[in-house]
Amino acid sequence: MERLSTDYYVYPGATDRALRRYRAFAQSPGRRPLYPQDAECSCRGCSFDDVRHARDVLDEVLRQLPARAREELRRRVARLDAAYLQRTLPDPFADRRQWRSDLWWRRRLADGREGP
Ligand SMILES: [Zn+2]
């Protein structure tokens, strides 16, 4: 699927990288709130500096996967989604402030710097 994808951000290894990135963020040690940060560069490598990009990639991959593989990945992502929701805070001004605020994982408070 990754090899066949025409999406610039979906390439061989991208799903694994996105999953690791998303997991590392959502399951960071501690209990304090976490704030996603913007990536300084929009290339396919640096974009992962923004954890929300990792979730974008997973979203795209989930759309393109065949049913059985999709279901397996969907379960893993759902667990991380729950953790992500717990560790981030809602942004009441997401419509004004966040890019692609139609995506729920982009309706969370962000900061210049990642971490608590
Ligand atoms: Zn770059």
Alpha-carbon gap, residue 10 to 4, rounded angstroms:
9
Query: What range does the domain containing 73 cover?
Result: 14-106
Alpha helices in the chain (DSSP H): 14-26, 51-64, 67-87, 94-97
Q: Is residue 81 part of a domain?
A: yes
Computed over every residue of the chain, the mean pLDDT equals 94
Sequence letter at residue 80: L
Residue at 4 is within a domain: no
Cα(49) to ligand 1 centroid in Å equals 10
Distance from the CA of 26 to the center of ligand 1, in angstroms? 23
> Is 69 part of a structural domain of the chain?
yes
What's the confidence (pLDDT) of residue 33?
Answer: 93
Model confidence band, residue 24 (pLDDT cutoffs 50, 70, 90): very high
Residue 112 counted as domain residue: no
- The answer to whether residue 3 sits within a structural domain is no
Instruction: Using the mean position of ligand 1's atoms as its centre, give its distance from the Cα of residue 39 in Å.
Output: 9
For the chain, report the end-to-end CA distance as a whole number of angstroms: 36
Residues 35-77: tens digit of each pLDDT:
999 999 999 999 999 999 999 999 999 999 999 999 999 999 9
Q: How far is the CA of 53 from the centre of ligand 1 (A)?
A: 13
- Residue 54 domain flag: yes
Residue 114 reports pLDDT greater than 90: no
Give the single-character DSSP code of 9.
T
Examine residue 26 and state whether it is found in any structural domain, yes or no: yes
**C-alpha 54 to ligand 1 mean position (Å):** 15
Q: What is the pLDDT at residue 28? A: 94
Residue 116 predicted with pLDDT over 60: no
**In angstroms, what is the span from residue 38 Cα to ligand 1's centroid?**
12
Per-residue pLDDT at 86: 96
CB 40 within 8 A of CB 104: no
Domain count, the chain: 1
Whether 23 is covered by a domain: the verdict is: yes
- Give the residue-averaged pLDDT of 18-43: 95
CA 104 to ligand 1 centroid distance, Å: 25
3-state DSSP assignment of residue 34: coil
pLDDT band at 115 (very low <50, low <70, confident <90, very high): low
- What contacts 55, CB < 8 A, 6 or more positions away? 18, 22, 84, 103, 105
Distance separating alpha carbons of residues 31 and 95, to the nearest angstrom: 27
